[in-house]
């Protein structure tokens, strides 16, 4: 399992263009073989910051994504759209667990 958490700050003046590319990247990447999850979220404190959460079955799936047309188009746009460096945290995990709680169960788990 390979997980990437990427943070990108976009130039506020180019936010609409950036978000259109983000939407296309996410929509197309979610259907790639070996992709478990592919999400992009704006930061609650700064709407110009987008955080990507990518989860792949293995390194080969992540490499195939990095070679995809939509990924290359997105990355090639970054010099014009990004406002600062791109940060990626890569996590290699042997196993992951999914925990789903009701809101009440989440409160009860505090005890």
Closest C-alpha among 65, 3, 1 to residue 31: 65
Closest C-alpha among 89, 92, 97, 28 to residue 57: 92
**What CATH number does residue 72 fall under?**
3.30.70.100
Show the domain range for 20: 2-108
The pTM of this model reads: 0.89
- The backbone torsions φ and ψ at residue 7, rounded to the nearest 5 degrees and listed phi first, read -120, 130
**pLDDT one-digit tens code per residue, 34-89:** 999 999 999 999 999 999 999 999 999 999 999 999 999 999 999 999 999 999 99
**Per the structure, how many domains does the chain have?**
1
């Amino acid at each position: 399992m390979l997980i990437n958490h990427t943070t990108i700050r976009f130039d506020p003046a180019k936010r609409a263009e950036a978000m259109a590319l983000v939407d296309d990247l996410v929509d197309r990447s979610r259907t790639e073989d070996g992709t478990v999850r592919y999400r992009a979220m704006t930061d609650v404190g700064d709407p110009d910051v987008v955080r990507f959460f990518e989860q792949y079955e293995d390194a080969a799936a992540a490499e195939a994504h990095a070679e995809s047309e939509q990924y290359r188009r997105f990355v090639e746009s970054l010099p014009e759209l990004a406002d600062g460096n791109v940060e990626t945290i890569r996590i290699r995990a042997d196993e992951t667990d999914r925990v789903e709680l009701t809101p009440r169960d989440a409160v009860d788990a505090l005890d």
